Amino acid sequence: MMITHDTRCALEAVVDLLNTAPEGGATSAPDALSDVPSLHEFVARNAFSDVGTLTERDLASVRSVRARFAQVFAADDDRSAAELLNSLVAAAGTTPRLTDHDGYDWHVHYFAPGASVADHLAADGGMALAFLVVAGERERLRRCEAPDCRHAFVDLSRNRSRRYCDSRTCGNRLHVAAYRARRREAAS
């Protein structure tokens, strides 16, 4: 599956946004988008272009978009995901346009010039997710299988075999635990 640079960036931003939510809805885990400065960090980390002054209203809107993306990841089937994405992208008032900024070759932005950060996310992220649905690749939208982690990720591996958000942390931790359990069992 070929994914362009801008689509990959939009998917990464969606995943990053989802992973700012409290883990698995747990009330003990902090919300990483708790205030406007944390929203500034999110915007900078994802190198969003054409974002004006961020406010509490932007924060609330971005959190709303985050909840809608979570519904797409949890959708039971392609039709449900498509309905959610159609609604999300339509509400963002998409205005596809070609652009070549910041040293990148021509690519498409789906948000209107001067759009809010929430509309930027909804339009570009929604279209990136829509491309996966159209390609029959929605199963690539996953949650980490580590029992103590529910981070979102998009499995872009060739054989769709990725199970953990990060193989160096979650995957390695589980493999080490399984190894130690086998060693204990063999020693008894």
Residues 10-41: tens digit of each pLDDT: 999 999 999 999 865 444 578 999 999 999 99
Q: What is the dihedral of CA 12, 4, 78, 26, to 10 degrees?
A: 0
- Of the candidates 39, 12, 37, 33, the residue with the CA atom closest to the CA atom of residue 21: 33
Contact 146, 108 (CB under 8 A): no
Read off the tokens for 108. Answer: 């498409």
Position 112 scores a pLDDT of 82
Q: What is the pLDDT of residues 175-188, one digit of tens each?
A: 666 656 677 777 77
Per-residue pLDDT of the chain in tens (188 residues, 90 and over written 9): 678 888 999 999 999 999 999 865 444 578 999 999 999 999 999 998 778 899 999 999 999 999 999 999 999 999 999 999 999 999 998 888 888 877 778 888 888 888 899 999 999 999 999 999 999 999 999 999 888 888 999 999 888 888 888 766 786 666 666 656 677 777 77
Contact 119, 93 (CB under 8 A): yes
- pTM score: 0.85
Read off the tokens for 112. Answer: 């209107």
Give the type of residue at 69: F
Measured CA to CA, the distance from residue 106 to residue 37 in angstroms comes to 31
Measured CA to CA, the distance from residue 38 to residue 31 in angstroms comes to 10
